[in-house]
């Protein structure tokens, strides 16, 4: 449990009780919906609601718990129900409904749990809402295993009161809810990357109160204020505000360093605001993390930088960073942890093993426990050892899916070019040797590690369109603690807006239609996104009502279809990212407003999946069709069909929602409907373009004129779908949505259409000479026949046999691991291959044929291979007598599972 700051959270002098009441009243984001402000019909206020706060329970007296009690009180008051607090149960009049508040260790709480036959786990952040008896009184118990667990139980009651038509009935239906956290860390990162776009929210205290309350309510337990990520590296920096953060926050004794042009008063205001944000964060029971991604003070090729750093030299740089960090941590005691980028993009050359121990020492010198979190790209284990030598807790934070968001599982393979394969005689930098760390967990999941592994989902895929898929969020919740990892940090919606000096004043959501801008601020468009991520990272098996009640409140009778439409549309971009990724960098690829890659010239067909172990590229699949054999990987045609099905489902539910919604012109519904239509249209565009790319690849291999005609037809359909997106977005979104200065990082959908038209026109003009037209009877299958068969197989795949496999619970390193799979009788499986590797993305899979014994296939992974500090992962490749192949266990219907087996060594 993170240490909670019990000091007065408001430096302005008001009492803690005044502060709690003030923040509760300010947390008005819950009132931006259609909730009634009076008791629902048939409900009686009677004698009011009694909140019994056990005065003997030290947990109840913790500031975050007192704050959460006030949130519940305010939520009930907003619905017309009076509350009164009591220190003892026998003080409560008999006509009151009773909510008993306490920790699981309280004697009174124990009575209620025993009467109900319930127990709250002795696990961090566990909560209980249990109806039972204390003595002769019937009570609703709100309890927790610790401060956060108790806070969550109270905020859950507040949320149910807010998002229920009949609050008392909603609370009355609670019999037993026991939950515990699946992931120790559930973090949101908010990025400051633009002075013009981000200063307004940074200084807005009303925003912070509502925003931080929302994070706690949705069960995030960490907030990361991220500075210094406005550029990929300290070069061409026009806007340096908070990029090298220290001079923008404080003057460091013994160092005459400043941000040129920044008034001292503004610098001091920044520090006071940072301190206040930290105090507000911990007052809600959240861990406050500060990310300092850049340590460079010299900005290359930046003659027009707005705030040059003055007073530093290479000789004084390290000592200044150390002393500034110590001073900052002492000035802001609510900071619980610091995040660093430690490879060369931080501005510090690779291998600077004098600099980083000095900076880490700056953390140690602050005199309290502060977590050190190190971004994983390009770093050696040696650097982690230096951080561990401080005695502070250390996490390494790899990317989950490079700089994008894919499906919830961790890649089976990384792209081949990212593995280090040295050429004799050449020398390589550390980052070249460790290029495989750009993708995911890399080689950091040693079972004997002394550090935590915290995944970070980067904002390359999803930036501003509304997202909300419970299945995907739950999948991440189940897999963010993969091999004992500690959880996940999400770069929130609108991250990187205005990055690299591209900021513009105005609405950060980019709405040209002012009526669509949320009244409470741009972030409120994404309330459902925060709700799904936070609650399903906490409990992947959460009751769907925890998000459905939000939809019911917003959309009434159309709620179910709004939820389903958004869920289906939200799965489109992660699927595209997983199956077809031209660039691992968020700077090179933005699928929300994708810049068209030409089909002509073979670039599009050559694009690999970010997981080439599970998905084939167009070129790979075309070669399989023409030459064989099949690999069993998911093909571009299967992906195209999935995208089409997701789009069809989203569009059907959206059409039904339009027929049911009481106010179709309402801003909330229009925001959802427009973004669903854009994401659905993007799915259709990519589906048709993947088909066009495959038809063109077959044309190239077989010189079959009909394949060129098919490619043109598919490409025209893709273009037509893009035109529909342009029509949907025109007048809704601004013509220039800026997430960077380059053309492919700004603009809108209309900008991309001419490039699509140009490539299509070039394809339409192709005229294969008669000499290369396919000769009849030459023995080769026609492209038409191959494509028709592949389309039919993808649309209606043959049933696969049921496979039975029971993974080992664990294994002993150095001993063989026996693997067996049994195939359902009656199916003609002719070959089974085992793909296995250590849970180390720097390694390739071993692929072996399994020995057949009837309908069973067996193989033993050798003891020499299991003698390793890593767990084992594996999956099966199966072939039948009809030339078909598939992978087991593969992906399930919602694409949210882990498509391989995992076995960890005995501890």
Which residues are within 8 A (CB) of 705 and not within 5 positions of it... i.e. 6 or more apart?
699, 768, 773, 774
Contact present, 103 and 142 (Cβ < 8 Å): no
Six token digits for residue 648: 């069809």
Six token digits for residue 89: 């149960």
> b vs e for 357-384, b when ≥16 Cβ sit within 10 Å of the residue's Cβ?
bbbbbbbbebeeebbbbbbbbbbbeebb
Q: Which residue from 151, 143, 147 is spatially nearest to 100, judged by alpha carbons?
A: 143
Contact present, 568 and 649 (Cβ < 8 Å): yes
Give the separation between CA 836 and CA 848, rounded to whole angstroms: 9
Give residue 26's pLDDT.
46
- State the greatest distance between any 2 C-alpha atoms of the chain, in Å, as a whole number: 98
Contact present, 589 and 617 (Cβ < 8 Å): no
Which residues are within 8 A (CB) of 464 and not within 5 positions of it... i.e. 6 or more apart?
493, 494, 497, 509, 510, 592, 737
Give the separation between CA 533 and CA 814, rounded to whole angstroms: 40
Which residues are within 8 A (CB) of 395 and not within 5 positions of it... i.e. 6 or more apart?
185, 371, 372, 373, 374, 451, 452, 453, 454, 486
Query: 254 — alpha (psi -120 to 50), left (phi > 0) or beta?
Result: left
User: Which helix (H) or strand (E) segment is 490 a member of?
Assistant: strand 487-491
> b vs e for 13-44, b when ≥16 Cβ sit within 10 Å of the residue's Cβ?
eeebeebbbebbebbebbebebbeeeeeeebe
Name the burial class of residue 197, with classes exposed (0-12), middle (13-18) and buried (19+) by CB atoms within 10 angstroms of its CB.
Answer: buried
Distances (CA, A) of 326 to 292, 365, 366: 13, 6, 5
DSSP codes, 131-159: EEEETTEEEEEEEESSHHHHHHHHHHHHH
Q: What is the arrangement of strands in the sheet containing 856-861, beginning at the earlier edge strand?
A: 803-804, 817-823, 856-861, 851-853
CA-based angle 574:575:579, to the nearest 5? Answer: 120
Give the separation between CA 658 and CA 768, rounded to whole angstroms: 48
| Percent helix, percent strand, percent coil in the chain, to nearest 5 | 40, 15, 45
Which residues does residue 853 pair with via DSSP β-bridges, in sequence order? 856
Give the separation between CA 196 and CA 219, rounded to whole angstroms: 31
Query: 378 — alpha (psi -120 to 50), left (phi > 0) or beta?
Result: left
Give the separation between CA 16 and CA 282, rounded to whole angstroms: 13
SS3 573: helix
Number of other residues whose CB lies within 10 A of the CB of residue 541 = 11
Number of other residues whose CB lies within 10 A of the CB of residue 585 = 14
pTM here is: 0.94
Contact present, 742 and 502 (Cβ < 8 Å): no
Q: Which residue from 187, 184, 159 is spatially nearest to 174, judged by alpha carbons?
A: 159
- What does the pLDDT look like over 693-752, one tens digit per residue? 999 999 999 998 999 999 999 999 999 999 999 999 999 999 999 999 999 999 999 999
DSSP 235: B
Six token digits for residue 748: 């809108």
Distances (CA, A) of 538 to 128, 183, 479: 14, 6, 12
Give the separation between CA 710 and CA 695, rounded to whole angstroms: 6
CA-based angle 551:556:561, to the nearest 5? Answer: 60
Mean pLDDT per 10-residue section of the chain, whose length is 907 residues = 34 42 44 34 63 92 97 96 93 93 93 96 97 94 98 98 94 96 98 97 98 98 98 96 98 97 98 98 98 97 97 97 98 98 92 95 97 95 97 98 97 90 88 91 97 97 97 98 98 97 90 95 97 98 98 98 98 98 94 96 95 98 94 97 98 98 97 98 98 96 92 98 98 96 95 97 84 50 81 81 94 97 92 98 97 96 98 97 94 97 95
User: Which helix (H) or strand (E) segment is 212 a member of?
Assistant: helix 205-217
Six token digits for residue 278: 């930290």
Give residue 904's pLDDT.
98
DSSP codes, 148-211: HHHHHHHHHHHHHHHT-SSHHHHHHT--EEEE--S-SEEEEEEE---HHHHHHHHT-HHHHHHH
Contact present, 859 and 834 (Cβ < 8 Å): yes
DSSP codes, 291-313: EE-------BT-TT-SS-EES--
Phi, psi (degrees; rounded to nearest 5) at 504? -140, 145
Give the separation between CA 129 and CA 156, rounded to whole angstroms: 9
Contact present, 495 and 509 (Cβ < 8 Å): no
- What does the pLDDT look like over 482-516, one tens digit per residue? 999 999 999 999 999 999 999 998 889 899 999 99
Query: 779 — alpha (psi -120 to 50), left (phi > 0) or beta?
Result: left
Which residues are within 8 A (CB) of 682 and not within 5 positions of it... i.e. 6 or more apart?
572, 573, 576, 591, 592, 594, 725
Give the separation between CA 700 and CA 704, rounded to whole angstroms: 8
Which residues does residue 225 pair with via DSSP β-bridges, in sequence order? 190, 290
Give the separation between CA 714 and CA 231, rounded to whole angstroms: 38
Contact present, 113 and 119 (Cβ < 8 Å): yes
Phi, psi (degrees; rounded to nearest 5) at 160? -65, -35
CA-based angle 474:478:480, to the nearest 5? Answer: 105
Give residue 45's pLDDT.
53
Phi, psi (degrees; rounded to nearest 5) at 761? -60, -40
Which residue bears the tokens 């970010």?
610
CA atoms within 13 A on the CB side of 74: 20
Give residue 623's pLDDT.
96
Which residue bears the tokens 């339009």?
658
């Amino acid at each position: 449990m993170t240490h909670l700051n019990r000091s007065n959270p408001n430096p302005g002098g008001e009492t803690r009780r005044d502060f709690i009441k003030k923040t509760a009243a300010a947390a008005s984001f819950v009132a931006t919906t259609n909730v009634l402000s009076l008791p629902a019909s048939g409900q009686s206020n009677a004698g009011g609601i009694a909140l019994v706060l056990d005065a003997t329970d030290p947990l109840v007296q913790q500031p975050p718990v007192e704050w959460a009690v006030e949130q519940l009180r305010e939520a009930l008051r907003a619905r017309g129900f009076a509350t009164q607090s009591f220190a003892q149960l026998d003080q409560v009049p008999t006509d009151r409904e009773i909510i008993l508040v306490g920790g699981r260790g309280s004697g009174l709480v124990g009575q209620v749990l025993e009467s109900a036959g319930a127990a709250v786990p002795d696990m961090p952040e566990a909560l209980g809402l249990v109806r039972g008896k204390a003595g002769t009184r019937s009570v609703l118990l709100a309890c927790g295993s610790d401060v956060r667990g108790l806070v969550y139980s109270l905020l859950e009651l507040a949320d149910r009161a807010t998002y229920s038509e009949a609050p008392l009935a909603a609370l009355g239906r609670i019999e037993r809810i026991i939950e515990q956290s699946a992931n120790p860390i559930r973090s949101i990162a908010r990025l400051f990357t633009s002075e013009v776009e981000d200063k307004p929210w940074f200084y807005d205290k009303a925003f912070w109160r509502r925003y931080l309350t929302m994070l706690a309510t949705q069960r995030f337990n960490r907030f990361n204020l991220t500075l210094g990520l406005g550029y990929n590296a300290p070069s061409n920096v026009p806007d340096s505000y908070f990029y090298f953060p220290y001079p923008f926050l404080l003057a460091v004794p013994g160092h005459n360093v400043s941000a040129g042009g920044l008034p001292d008063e503004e610098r001091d205001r920044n520090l006071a605001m940072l301190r206040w944000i930290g105090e507000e964060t911990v007052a809600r029971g959240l861990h406050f993390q500060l990310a300092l991604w850049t340590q460079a003070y010299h900005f290359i090729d930046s003659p027009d930088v707005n705030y040059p750093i003055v007073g530093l030299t290479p000789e004084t740089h390290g000592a200044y960073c150390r002393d500034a960090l110590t001073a900052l941590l002492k000035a802001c005691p609510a900071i619980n942890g610091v995040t660093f980028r430690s490879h060369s993009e931080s501005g510090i050359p690779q291998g600077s093993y004098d600099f980083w121990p000095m900076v880490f020492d700056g953390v140690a010198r602050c005199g309290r426990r502060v977590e050190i979190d190190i971004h994983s790209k390009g770093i050696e284990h040696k650097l982690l050892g230096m951080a561990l030598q401080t005695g502070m807790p250390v996490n390494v934070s790899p990317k989950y899916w490079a700089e994008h968001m894919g499906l919830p599982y961790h890649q089976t393979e990384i792209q081949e070019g990212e593995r280090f394969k040295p050429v004799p005689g050449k020398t390589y930098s550390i980052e070249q040797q460790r290029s495989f760390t750009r993708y995911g967990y890399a080689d950091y999941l040693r079972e004997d590690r002394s550090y935590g592994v915290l995944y970070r989902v980067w904002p390359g895929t999803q930036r501003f369109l509304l997202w909300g898929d419970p299945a995907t969020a739950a999948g991440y919740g189940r897999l963010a603690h993969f091999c004992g990892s500690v959880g996940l940090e999400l770069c929130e919606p609108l991250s990187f807006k205005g990055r690299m000096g591209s900021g513009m004043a105005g609405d950060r959501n980019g709405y040209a239609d002012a009526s669509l801008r949320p009244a409470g601020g741009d972030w409120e468009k994404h309330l459902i996104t925060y709700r799904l991520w936070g609650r399903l990272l906490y409990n992947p098996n959460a009751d769907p009502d925890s998000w459905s009640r939000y939809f019911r409140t917003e959309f009434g009778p159309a709620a179910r279809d709004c939820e389903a439409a958004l869920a289906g549309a939200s799965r489109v971009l992660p699927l595209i990212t997983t199956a077809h990724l031209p660039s691992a960098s968020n700077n090179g690829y933005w699928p929300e407003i994708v810049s068209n890659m030409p089909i002509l010239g073979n670039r599009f067909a050559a694009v690999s999946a970010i997981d080439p172990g599970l998905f084939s590229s167009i070129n790979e699949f075309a070669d399989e069709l023409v030459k064989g054999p099949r690999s069993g990987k998911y093909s571009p045609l299967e992906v195209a069909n999935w995208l089409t099905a997701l789009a069809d489902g989203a569009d059907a539910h959206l059409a039904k929602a339009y027929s049911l919604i009481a106010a179709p012109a309402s801003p909330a519904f229009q925001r959802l409907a427009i973004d669903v239509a854009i994401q659905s249209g993007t799915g259709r565009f990519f589906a048709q373009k993947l088909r066009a790319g495959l038809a063109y690849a077959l044309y190239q291999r077989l010189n079959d004129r009909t394949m060129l005609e098919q490619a043109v037809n598919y490409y025209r359909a893709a273009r037509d779908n893009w035109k529909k997106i342009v029509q949907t977005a025109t007048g809704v979104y601004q013509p220039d949505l800026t997430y960077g200065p380059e053309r492919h990082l700004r603009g809108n959908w209309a900008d991309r259409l001419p490039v699509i038209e140009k490539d299509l026109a070039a394809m339409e003009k192709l005229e294969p000479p008669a000499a290369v037209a396919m000769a009849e009877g030459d023995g080769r299958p026609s492209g038409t026949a191959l494509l028709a068969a592949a389309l039919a197989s993808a649309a209606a795949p043959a049933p696969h046999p049921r496979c039975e496999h029971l993974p080992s619970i664990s294994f002993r390193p150095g001993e063989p691991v026996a693997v067996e799979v049994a195939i359902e009788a009656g199916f003609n499986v002719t070959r089974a291959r085992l793909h296995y590797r250590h849970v180390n993305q720097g390694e390739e899979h071993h692929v072996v044929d399994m020995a057949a014994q009837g309908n069973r296939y067996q193989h033993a992974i050798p003891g020499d291979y299991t003698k390793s500090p890593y767990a084992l992962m594996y999956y099966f490749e199966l072939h039948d007598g009809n030339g078909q192949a598939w992978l087991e266990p593969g992906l399930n219907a919602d694409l949210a599972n882990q498509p391989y087996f995992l076995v960890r060594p005995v501890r």
